[in-house]
A and B are shown apart, each in its own frame.
Chain A
Amino acid sequence: MSNTNYLLAVEDITVSFDGFKAIEALNLYVDQGELRVIIGPNGAGKTTLLDLICGKTRASAGSIKFKNQEMTRMAEHEIVRAGIGRKFQTPSIYENLSVFKNLEVSFPRGRSVFGALAFKCTEDVRARAQAVAEEIGLAAALELEAGLLSHGQKQWLEIGMLLMQDPELLMLDEPIAGMSARERELTAELLDRICRNRAMIVIEHDMEFVARIAHKVTVMHQGKILAEGAMEAVKNDPRVIDVYLGH
């Protein structure tokens, strides 16, 4: 495929598990600075799509280009270093390290074996961790063991760990699952803020939240894209209504 102006261009991607096609000939384009939300019923292939982009699952066919660079053959850590960050569905943080350590470990320096041996926590690392902690509302909890945080705070911490890497594309898998209404509101504000200088792909079920944050919505169903566009348009698409309410 030719080069594009898109930040991320997923083209004709297919993946099958033992013959079952989880995703089939899917195309997805994400602009610089865009906040895209992917919705769809369970088993639509949303998480698999994120897995494909970040290299956790390998595509059977198709291409994924990030800044016009082919990603499908790169190792996971190379994809991360190219500028793609991924948050998992269940909060995945280092429970028995402090919040500060969690952020420090995610700082993109000393990523090789010997780099890690020589790594020193200098002032700039400290400053960055402090700034990120303020962003995610955990500035007061820096020395707390991460396992003691509330479920919502853990979600934020994982987002914070990704912010330490300053990725150009941030992918969040159900970031508000298990959050209170207040926490949801704070998360929406957080996403608004951090989206200013990067693109994001968010998987979410909560329609109110989706409407609140999304620039553009993609609806997936059975491994394919069913509809794409502004939230209002998508919500009134008869095929989408059929998938969510029909059968």
Chain B
Amino acid sequence: MSPSELFNIVIMQGFAGFSLFSVLLLMGLGLAIIFGQMGVINMAHGEFMTIGAYTIYLASHLSETFAPGLMPYYFPPAILLAFIAAFAVGWLAEWLLIRHLYKRPLDTLLATWGLSLGMQQVFRSTFGPKEVSPTLPDWLLGSWSPMAGLDIPINGLFVMALTLVVCAVVFLAMFRSRWGLRVRATVANRAMANATGIDTRRTDRITYAIGCGIAGMAGAAFTTIGSTGPTSGSLYIVDAFLVVTFGGAASLLGTIASAFSISQVQSIAEFFLTGSMAKVLTLSLILLILMMRPQGLFASKVRR
């Protein structure tokens, strides 16, 4: 293998890692809001991602059947739909379930696990047990080769761009908007936030729903790299939690850094090892680092 070939492989593996990075980051970002900020252990997070993925599938299916002319354009609006669908279900779940459990964090874990079981069965009954894939628009399928021997898939670039936009919006919303202020105030001191006139119940519900909505967009990103089945989401739930924990639970910046390092390690290891051993290696590494530094990469020292 010549040095230039090796260079190309590293670049391509790196970009393959970017697709995984996008999914992990979007999953992690939603979870960082729900788990890191609100303290709810959302085991159904993977299923909200699956909702997003199925929404894309439905949109592609409908567009193919009723309006084939719109095929090149359906994808961007479908991403928005994925967000809305997951947001709506999240809103409902918060109202029915989560709001009763804020004082018992470990029980949110158990209850949302029950929720995820139920949702998986809904998927299975609605879409069947087999995995489905949306028909992606042609412009997403090609690859971009800036030089000979180097092929960078366009879907990876697109998903990457989508992720960057979502991140930017979340950051702006969190640190520049009234909503972000309310969320941060509620997290810091619920009673005080209530006393200053913030409707913390409403804030909780919207926050949870937005976290779920972002997971839905992760599902949209996911359709470009894999096919969707009833249990697709559960494959990512542990990774998502590790991304958030590894980054330092309350830090959005940490979430980005850890999603990046995890996906890159895994993607590069995949080239040298089998897929499963790459996963074992990556997870073990994270676990080892977390054991050394349980507070994660980005955490501040405060008086406890």
Contacts and interface: CB of A to CB of B under 8 A. Distances in A.
A94 B301 CA distance: 29
B303 interface: yes
Interface string B282-304: 00000000000000000011111
Contacts of B303: 17, 22, 48, 51, 57
A22 B303 CA distance: 9
Identify whether the interface residues of B are mostly helix, strand, loop, or mixed: loop
Interface string A12-48: 0000011000100000000000000000000000001
B269 to A, nearest CB: 35
Interface residues of A, number: 7
Contacts of A18: 300-302
Contacts of B302: 17-18
A48 B303 CA distance: 8
Contacts of A56: 304
A56 B304 CA distance: 9
Contacts of A22: 303
Interface in A44-67: 48, 51, 56-57
Nearest to B300: A18
A51 B302 CA distance: 13
Nearest to A15: B303
A17 B302 CA distance: 5
A52 B201 CA distance: 39
Contacts of B301: 17-18
Interface in B250-304: 300-304
Contacts of A51: 303
A48 B302 CA distance: 11
A222 to B, nearest CB: 15
A17 B301 CA distance: 6
A65 to B, nearest CB: 23
A57 B300 CA distance: 14
A57 B303 CA distance: 8
A134 B302 CA distance: 40
Nearest to A48: B303
Interface-centre pick from B300, B302, B303, B304 (highest chain A CB count, 10 A): B303
A169 B303 CA distance: 24
Interface-centre pick from A17, A22, A51 (highest chain B CB count, 10 A): A17
A22 B304 CA distance: 13
Contacts of A48: 303
A31 B131 CA distance: 75
Interface of B: 300-304
Interface of A: 17-18, 22, 48, 51, 56-57
12 contacts: A17-B301, A17-B302, A17-B303, A18-B300, A18-B301, A18-B302, A22-B303, A48-B303, A51-B303, A56-B304, A57-B303, A57-B304
Given A56-B304, A57-B304, 10 more contacts: A17-B301, A17-B302, A17-B303, A18-B300, A18-B301, A18-B302, A22-B303, A48-B303, A51-B303, A57-B303
